[in-house]
Amino acid sequence: MAHPEFFFALALSGDASRQMLTDLVGRVLERAGCPGDGAAAIGEKIHAAVAHGSAGTEHIDVEFTAAAGRLQIAVSSRAGAIWQTVCDVP
């Protein structure tokens, strides 16, 4: 079975809802074919990165890129990278 390839990005503010991020991560992990059992933990990490990174800036970008059997999740601001992780797509 071929691995799905896609790119999904959104701009957030520091007050992004923890529940919204957890739900979003769960859906993206599901779409990418990653096990969903880590979605809550990754959602928490993204929430913390967004909250931390939003100090002094209005926008935080969250990007999900799936290619070649891997899903990369990156959180950044105009000042640069804040947090990232990669998970293998089975």
Could you report the per-residue pLDDT of 48-67, keeping only the tens digit for each? 887 777 665 567 889 999 88
pLDDT at 64: 92
Least confident range from 12-21, 22-31, 38-47: namely 12-21
- Mean pLDDT, rounded, of the chain: 80
- Residue 90: count other Cβ atoms within 10 Å of its Cβ: 9
- For the cut 60, the answer to whether the pLDDT of residue 1 exceeds it is no
CA distances from 88 to 23, 50, 70 (A): 20, 23, 4
Stated pTM of the model: 0.81
